[in-house]
A and B are shown apart, each in its own frame.
Chain A
Amino acid sequence: MTKPQYPVIAEVGASQPIEAANLPVVTEQTASPEVVRLYAQFRKEFSRPQVPGILKCFATHPPLLEHMMGLAQSMLFVDGALDRRHKEMLSTFVSAQNQCAYCTDSHGFSFRAHGGSPKALEAVVVCRLESDAITSPQRALLSFARKITQNSQGIAPADIEELRATGWSDLQIAETIHLTALFACFNRVVNAFGLPSQELLAIYERESEDHA
């Protein structure tokens, strides 16, 4: 698996403490040996000096940290039937639907880093699916993710047929359901802790302008 390089994130100061508004998270100083090991594993696998805040929320219960990382690695941070760009597009969209500023920012950043255009990102974040930056199969996929987010009990065979008609395979649809459901979980953990956005997107756009 090829890892994208995250020079921008690497520059976000490692000394900057992460604080959540509502509840204490597990800092490097308060981490148990098991959590220290998992934080180190994350740094090694993602080449990032700073452990992101969401993992510091999960670390309040070490098995949660271990298996949330495992879930994210097997479903999100890997090409599957859906490629990374579409996975990040979905993650950003669902997080915006769930009013999770932290995840919208970090996955919006990843979407851009995987080649998503600024116009497509904007359309995804404000849920303007009719935008011409969104292709018609993408529109169908995002509408489906919105229905799972807001009204999953209403999903019917006709919704699946509609996706198949725009060219999506059953495996791609299965991954879409899995990811959308995963973010229903992640976003709620982050919102409960009150984790603020890391503003990675703002840094990314500033850097891109500097290099333009």
Chain B
Amino acid sequence: MPDDIEQHIFLSEVEANPQPGPYADAIAAAKRAGTEYWGIWNILAFHPQAAYHLCELSHELMFEEAPISSALRELIAAQTSSLNHCEFCMNAHASVASHLYGDEDLVWSVLRDLESSALSEKDKALLRFTGKLTLDSGSIAQADIDVLKLAGWDDTSIYYAIGACALFNFYNRFVSGNGVKLVSEEAFRNLGERMARVGYRREQPPKLAKAAGQE
């Protein structure tokens, strides 16, 4: 590999050996076109089968119809990333949430200070809970769930909030631990617009999609 090629992640051996699948294809296409691409593709190309499950899971949990809006789920993703100081995920999902709410100021005001933001009291209760789940999950107790019920949330909504928050506690460490680099503001905006529109799913080669989930 020539010295002047910019590294996208810390692990050069992983970056140099993308495994066959949709992410290796996406990287190859971006390189051919000479366009900017995400280091997250490099870490997804590390293990295509795990990446397949991860993306299906993310799509179902974050994008598909649910009792809580995808805007609020994306706001939880951005909040979790902010609390974990994962700038890449925070920028990306603040952008998705901004597109879904159609209100960038609201999203960033929540990330700066939940309490003084214009978010509804009911939604604030949910984000207080996911904040605690991120920072101190060992102390979550029945009383924390009771507060959510009082605020008007049902079990199914709470399940989605837990899922979104837990998933981004994964992504934040996956991204920061691998040293995924930030991209330009414009690239984040385009990514956010795309994810708000089509979600997390990528085209899978039929063979991989069929093999996934089986040993």
Contact = CB atoms under 8 A, between A and B. Distances in A.
Interface of A: 1, 21-24, 45, 60-61, 63-64, 66-71, 73-75, 78, 98-100, 148-149, 152-153, 155-157, 160, 169-171, 173-174, 177-178, 180-182, 184-189, 191-194
Nearest to B7: A157
Contacts of A189: 162-163, 166
24 contacts: A21-B142, A22-B145, A23-B145, A23-B159, A60-B155, A61-B60, A61-B61, A64-B60, A64-B61, A67-B53, A67-B54, A70-B53, A71-B53, A78-B215, A99-B137, A100-B137, A148-B177, A160-B179, A171-B14, A178-B46, A184-B166, A185-B167, A189-B163, A194-B142
Nearest to B142: A22
A192 B60 contact: no
B104 interface: no
B158 to A, nearest CB: 7
B174 interface: yes
B137 A191 contact: yes
Nearest to B66: A61
A100 B13 CA distance: 33
A207 to B, nearest CB: 28
Contacts of A152: 84-86, 172-173, 176-177
Given A61-B163, A71-B54, A178-B50, A187 B137 contact: yes
Contacts of B46: 174, 178
Contacts of B167: 185
Contact of B173 (A1, A24, A66, A180): A180
B60 A63 contact: yes
B68 interface: no
A141 B167 CA distance: 23
Interface of B: 10-14, 43, 46-47, 49-50, 52-54, 56-57, 60-61, 84-87, 133-134, 137-142, 144-145, 155-156, 158-160, 162-163, 165-167, 169-174, 176-179, 212-213, 215
Nearest to A161: B10
A75 B44 CA distance: 13
B47 A75 contact: yes
Given A75-B50, A188-B162, A177 B177 contact: yes
B140 A22 contact: yes
A177 B50 CA distance: 13
A153 B87 CA distance: 8
A71 B52 CA distance: 9
Given A153-B176, A188-B137, A60 B142 contact: no
A204 to B, nearest CB: 24
Contacts of B56: 63, 66-67
B57 A178 contact: no
Contacts of B50: 71, 74-75, 178
Contacts of B87: 153
Nearest to B176: A152
B11 A192 contact: no
A156 B213 CA distance: 34
A24 to B, nearest CB: 6
A101 to B, nearest CB: 9
Contact of B47 (A63, A157, A178): A178
A206 to B, nearest CB: 27
A45 B215 contact: yes
Given A22-B141, A100-B138, A188-B137, A64 B43 contact: no
Contact of A61 (B137, B159, B173): B159
A157 B159 contact: no
B200 to A, nearest CB: 11
B170 A160 contact: no
A180 B172 CA distance: 11
Contacts of A180: 173, 177
B201 to A, nearest CB: 12
B129 to A, nearest CB: 9
